[in-house]
Amino acid sequence: MKLHIESKYIYHIAIGIVLASMTWFSLSQAQQIRQFRQEQIQRNNLISKEFVEEPILEGLKPQIVNIKETKQTLYLPEQFKISVLSQGLDSPQFVKSDDKGNLFVTDNKANSLWIVPAQNPQVPKIVDNKLKGIMTLYWYEGSVFVVTDTRVMQYVDIQSDGSYKERKILINNLPRPQHNTYHTIVIKNDRIYIAIPANCESCKPKDKKFGSIMSYAIDGSDEKLFAQGLKQITDIVVEKDNLIVADIGRVGISNQLPAVEINRIEEGKDYGWPYCYGDANTDPKYTEQTDFCKNKAESSITELPKGNGVAGFTLIPNKFYNNFANNYAFIYQGGQNKYIPKGYKVVIKDINKDSTAKNFITGWLLEDGSAWGSPKGVTFNNNGDMIITDQQNGLLYKVTQE
């Protein structure tokens, strides 16, 4: 009996020690995670210069912006000024300008296409609010072309009040995107180019349209496979006679791989997915494809770090700032990778050089890991001003030279 009581006593002491150790370990681990998280946030916001992306020019300076009657701070070079151009949207995604400075904005949450008139940007108007799956758009010769989950539509001669001369359904049978992906659109030399995301992470697609760029005549006819092997293109830019795309690649290789690929697209070429990534690297799932990856698939021209939520990007015009000639502005809409928030900023990079992207605007990500805003799309208007959408706050920023 005595032995039984002592054994029971010892057992409870042991359990107590174990629980105490577990509690101490949990607290210690939580503290380590918080410290690591804090360091990553500080680096992302340039409090520390150890982060891979350093500030552009002479450094970033704080500027106050009024967001819904609340003062917030963004950081950008002192040569530039940022302000709220337009607000009152739900969740603005991508934005394009016409040759008169009118802005056209997609709003995925409201299934809407908006116009932000150049003469009265504080009063945006809805053009159409029945566009399920709308995300990207393109302005071309007096018309706005939008792509939804299955359609491409053309709006002819949109007026400042949101009315338009004509609406046409050009394509009605695009493969429906899956897993929160979306189609991207661009127009070059009277042909429409649609990037169709893959329908899986690393499978061999039975339908060649998935993970490809399809091209069409300007009226939606004459469908052709233009390029393939592209997992998920977040945006497309026309650079002279080329298409430049950002492809976020599949998940599952590692926390850093594959990086976001920037590719220069040529007709008839294969860019590797699902077998390859980056510069002729073979996906570990397809080791038998090494020869294809090294000798047949096209390599990326440069890369951006994974996990930042790379979204819209665009070529920077000389009118904005001469020193940024041939550079691109990339939007990091942000993401929460386990315990480490990343992104929530605008970076600038020369894609034709082996150089690191430089931070241009930061501050949406706070030191406690929360984010008070999330940029998504970027363009330049006819005056050379940078326009950025904020999907979290339902507004557009304008960045100009001081």
Write down the pLDDT at residue 248: 93
Distance in angstroms (rounded) separating the CA atoms of residues 223 and 202: 26
Write down the pLDDT at residue 285: 95
The rounded radius of gyration (Å) of the Cα atoms in the chain is 24
Write down the pLDDT at residue 217: 98
Write down the pLDDT at residue 189: 96
User: What's the pTM value of the predicted model, to 2 decimals?
Assistant: 0.87
Write down the pLDDT at residue 339: 61
Single-letter code of the amino acid located at 311: A
Residues 231 and 253 sit within 8 Å (Cβ to Cβ): no
Write down the pLDDT at residue 34: 52
Distance in angstroms (rounded) separating the CA atoms of residues 325 and 322: 6
Write down the pLDDT at residue 52: 58
Write down the pLDDT at residue 338: 58
- H or E element at residue 216: strand 212-217
Write down the pLDDT at residue 295: 97
Low-confidence residues of the chain: pLDDT under 50: 1-8, 10-11, 14, 17-27, 32-33, 36-37, 40-51
Write down the pLDDT at residue 314: 98
Distance in angstroms (rounded) separating the CA atoms of residues 209 and 229: 10
Write down the pLDDT at residue 28: 53
Quote the distance between the C-alpha of residue 11 and its chain's center. Answer: 56
> What number of residues does the chain have?
402
The correct CATH number of 61-401 out of 3.40.50.10890, 3.30.1330.30, 2.120.10.30, 3.40.50.300 is 2.120.10.30
